[in-house]
Chains A and B, each alone.
Chain A
């Protein structure tokens, strides 16, 4: 089955700097890669996703890149703000009602 690894487990950046979180997956059949942000005690919220026919996607300060050959994908947050502080989870799977596997999460702290 699918196995998703995520690095780093914790990340501290200064406000205004960029943050990069990296994930690798094992199942080459996976074709959908969402990123979720989870604030303490809250639900995971989808922030961006990418499908395997696209190499990069951007939404304002957030971007995701996908390298299918190497089976890794990354989340990039530019101009970080304190409200970006949260745990970020990557996931991999088939979006057609199949099993999603989440990474272990990265706790991002943006220091003012």
Chain B
């Protein structure tokens, strides 16, 4: 069964550094999402992406964040200048219209 994959599984970075989190959505899906989950808390929506543009974003998704689909398979989340409070698990998800969202295994980001 096809799955969403994410790399790396764990990323440690220093405050102020840029990080890029990578996702490979399920190949025939058209909608892509990023979510964040701070340890022990609920899953929070960051952004959705369709047809090569952002279709929706939350208030968390400020100017420090950007997303890109650089080629036909990858979907990336970039954080330009990381802050301590960006430490969280970041999940990518993908879906088709009229279908459910399937989550990747997540990237644990630790900002020191």
Say yes or no: B97 contacts A96, CB within 8 Å: yes
Known contacts A42-B105, A49-B100; is-contact A97 B91 (Cβ 8 Å): no
Known contacts A45-B103, A89-B42; is-contact A99 B58 (Cβ 8 Å): yes
Looking at the assembled complex, report how far the CB atom of B95 sits from the nearest CB atom of chain A, in whole angstroms. 7
Looking at the assembled complex, report how far the CB atom of A45 sits from the nearest CB atom of chain B, in whole angstroms. 7
Contact pattern, B 21-51, Cβ under 8 Å of A = 1, otherwise 0: 0000000000101000000011111001010
Count CB-based A-B contacts (< 8 Å): 57
A contact residues around B55 at 8 Å (CB): 97-98
Contact pattern, A 66-101, Cβ under 8 Å of B = 1, otherwise 0: 000000000000000000000001010001111111
CB of B101 within 8 A of chain A?
A: yes
Say yes or no: B105 contacts A104, CB within 8 Å: no
Interface of A is mostly: loop
CB of A8 within 8 A of chain B?
A: no
Q: How many A residues have CB within 8 A of the partner chain?
A: 22
Question: How many residues of B sit at the interface, in one of the four size bands?
Answer: 20 to 34
Say yes or no: B100 contacts A98, CB within 8 Å: no
Known contacts A43-B106, A44-B91, A45-B103; is-contact A95 B98 (Cβ 8 Å): yes
A contact residues around B95 at 8 Å (CB): 95, 97
Point out residues on A near B: beta carbons under 8 Å: 34, 36, 38, 42-46, 49, 89, 91, 95-105
A-B contact pairs, 21 of them (CB 8 A): A34-B101, A38-B43, A43-B91, A43-B103, A43-B105, A43-B106, A44-B103, A46-B103, A91-B43, A95-B95, A95-B101, A96-B97, A96-B98, A97-B48, A97-B50, A97-B97, A99-B45, A99-B48, A99-B56, A101-B45, A104-B42
Point out residues on B near A: beta carbons under 8 Å: 31, 33, 41-45, 48, 50, 55-56, 58, 91, 95, 97-106
